[in-house]
């Protein structure tokens, strides 16, 4: 079992009435709400929090990519990973992921991932992301009907660039290159492990399994809600005659640990509510452009995965968050038990825990990280290892170079 700390890096200081007076947290949040002086603090706190998790021994730290929103400020995940590379030693750098169709040419992903792998001594987990509709269609202008095709083609180019020793040409539909000859190349062989985050497109399952990558389900409505969807993934695994190794699967779970269950509510409720009400305040105008999901996915998903309405989301109480497993919150014992249940039910080999949530301030995030790392992580880390091997994990160098001491 591998456990990584995930960070969305939300803008933590939106006004109280944000969702009442603005249309959307994504694409059109008013620019005057962004204070770069506060963002300076937030970026550094975010990096501090991830480094703290790494320091306390979690297996990895995760960054991600989103654009033009207050939900998550990592427009360039590779910049965040580069900052983390020098201040972490053993932790995997899980970049989940580069939204492939937004890099022109996608060769840039191959190069930057190679740099990160070299700089970190072979600690990169390379996430390949299709991307949300907000990011790809509305922020970056990618025609929805072409998105998946671009993603598949970019993936092929990147893997070829990493693995083909000769200078080659790539005559793709979306990218044409005469001379591809990557310098640098990644440290890990044959290449860094590839993880593919998704949220319900059935084509992604088949493609991910066929390419022997990890499929990560990132959704905020908890493992109870996810069960039916994840079952679909494991059915696809079985249908393809592939072994149900839990390390084929990654899952994101919001976790909030306190001394007692009651203390967890006292500490975290306000920030979790901020997340669900403000961070997820996405206008239906931008949530899903026509053609973003294939018609096959829409037919499969309509009604089956229970898309949550705005009204429902706004009405959630603490009990809803907890009882539906949207957040696993409580004392260390409660969290251990609920997490163990989720891990078994969904067969999670790569667990990603969101330990800074919504408006959660830095000191509280540190508390959550520390309690999780000391009181929960040791109890779950051994899961699966008696039976299954993780073929999708980092292979770092034995004696990594460490940064020289700064001289005054």
User: Across-strand partners of 94?
Assistant: 62, 125
142 versus 230: smaller Cβ distance to other proteins: 142
206 versus 320: smaller Cβ distance to other proteins: 206
For the bound state, the minimum distance from the C-beta of residue 302 to other proteins, rounded and expressed in Å, comes to 5
User: 378-384: long-range contacts (C-beta < 8 A, 24 or more apart)?
Assistant: 379/336, 379/340, 380/1, 380/3, 380/336, 380/339, 380/340, 380/343, 380/351, 381/1, 381/2, 381/3, 381/59, 382/1, 383/1, 383/340, 383/343, 384/1, 384/246, 384/247, 384/349
Please check whether residue 157 is in contact with residue 170, taking contact to mean a CB–CB distance below 8 angstroms: yes
170 versus 223: smaller Cβ distance to other proteins: 170
CA 59 to chain centre: 15
Packing angle, helices 36-55 and 362-371, rounded to 10: 10
Q: How far is CA 296 from CA 101, 147, 237, 306, 329, in A?
A: 22, 15, 19, 16, 36
For the bound state, the minimum distance from the C-beta of residue 372 to other proteins, rounded and expressed in Å, comes to 39
Using only C-alpha atoms, what is the Rg of the chain?
A: 20
For the bound state, the minimum distance from the C-beta of residue 289 to other proteins, rounded and expressed in Å, comes to 6
174 versus 234: smaller Cβ distance to other proteins: 174
296 versus 401: smaller Cβ distance to other proteins: 296
138 versus 205: smaller Cβ distance to other proteins: 138
For the bound state, the minimum distance from the C-beta of residue 283 to other proteins, rounded and expressed in Å, comes to 9
Contact residues for other proteins, defined by CB under 8 A: 137-138, 141-146, 149, 173, 284-286, 289-291, 295, 298-299, 302-303
For the bound state, the minimum distance from the C-beta of residue 196 to other proteins, rounded and expressed in Å, comes to 22
For the bound state, the minimum distance from the C-beta of residue 8 to other proteins, rounded and expressed in Å, comes to 24
């Amino acid at each position: 079992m591998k456990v990584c700390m995930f960070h969305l890096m939300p803008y933590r200081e939106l006004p109280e009435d944000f969702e009442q007076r603005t249309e959307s947290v994504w694409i059109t949040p008013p620019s005057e709400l962004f204070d770069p002086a506060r963002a300076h603090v937030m970026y550094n706190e975010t990096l501090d929090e991830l480094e703290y998790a790494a320091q306390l021994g979690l297996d990895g730290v995760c960054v991600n990519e989103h654009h033009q929103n207050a939900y998550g400020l990592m427009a360039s995940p590779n910049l965040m990973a580069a900052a983390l590379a020098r201040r972490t030693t053993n932790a995997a750098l899980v970049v989940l992921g580069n939204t492939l169709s937004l890099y022109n040419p996608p060769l840039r992903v191959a190069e930057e991932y190679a740099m990160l792998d070299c700089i970190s001594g072979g600690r990169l987990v390379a996430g390949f992301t299709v991307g949300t509709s907000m990011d790809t269609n509305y922020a970056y202008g990618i025609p929805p009907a072409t998105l998946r095709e671009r993603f598949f083609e970019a993936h092929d180019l990147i893997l070829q660039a990493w693995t083909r020793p000769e200078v080659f040409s790539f005559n793709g539909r979306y990218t044409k290159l005469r001379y591809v000859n990557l310098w640098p190349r990644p440290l890990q062989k044959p290449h860094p492990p590839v993880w593919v985050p998704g949220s319900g497109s059935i084509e992604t399952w088949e493609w991910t399994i066929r390419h022997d990558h990890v499929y990560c389900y990132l959704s905020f409505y908890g493992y109870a809600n996810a069960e039916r969807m994840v079952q679909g993934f494991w059915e696809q695994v079985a249908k393809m005659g592939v072994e149900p190794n839990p390390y084929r699967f990654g899952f994101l779970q919001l976790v909030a640990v306190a001394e007692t269950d009651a203390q967890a509510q006292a500490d975290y409720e306000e920030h979790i509510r901020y997340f669900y009400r403000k961070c997820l305040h996405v206008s239906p105008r931008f949530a899903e452009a026509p053609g973003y999901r294939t018609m096959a996915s829409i037919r499969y998903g309509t009604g089956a995965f229970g898309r949550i309405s705005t009204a429902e989301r706004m009405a959630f109480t603490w009990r809803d968050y907890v009882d539906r497993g949207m957040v696993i919150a409580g004392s260390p014992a409660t969290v251990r038990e609920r997490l163990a249940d989720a891990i078994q039910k969904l067969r999670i080999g790569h667990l990603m825990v969101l330990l800074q949530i919504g408006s959660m301030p830095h000191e509280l995030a540190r508390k959550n990280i520390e309690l999780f790392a000391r009181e929960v992580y040791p109890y779950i880390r051994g899961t699966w290892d008696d039976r299954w091997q993780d073929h999708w994990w980092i292979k770092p160098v034995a004696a990594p170079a460490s940064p020289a001491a700064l001289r005054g």
